[in-house]
Amino acid sequence: MDTVGAGDSFTAGLLHRLAALGHLGGRLDALSLEDVTDSCSFAAHVAAVTCSVHGANPPWADEAAMEAGVEQLLPHA
């Protein structure tokens, strides 16, 4: 197990999921406990996938979504 990048990946996964749920770009007062739980779970999966490979090699968004079992991701640019 290689934990390089786990914290960064967790933060990126958390922000990505919150944005996908429409909670970034303003106040977080509409954030529900369910959305926080969902976002943290997604972030933990992203960090776990990052730890499963050697070096700082975080997963791509589609890989993270499949690992976490979520459907809604930010659209690709």
CA 46 remoteness from chain centre:
5
pLDDT at 46: 86
Contacts of 77 (CB under 8 A, 6+ apart): none
The tokens of 18 are what?
């919150």
Query: What pLDDT band is residue 76 in, cutting at 50, 70 and 90?
Result: very low
Q: pLDDT, tens digit, for every residue of 29-75? A: 889 999 999 999 999 988 888 888 776 565 665 666 666 665 555 55
Asked whether the beta carbons of 65 and 13 are under 8 A apart, the reply is: no
Mean pLDDT to the nearest integer, 17-22: 90
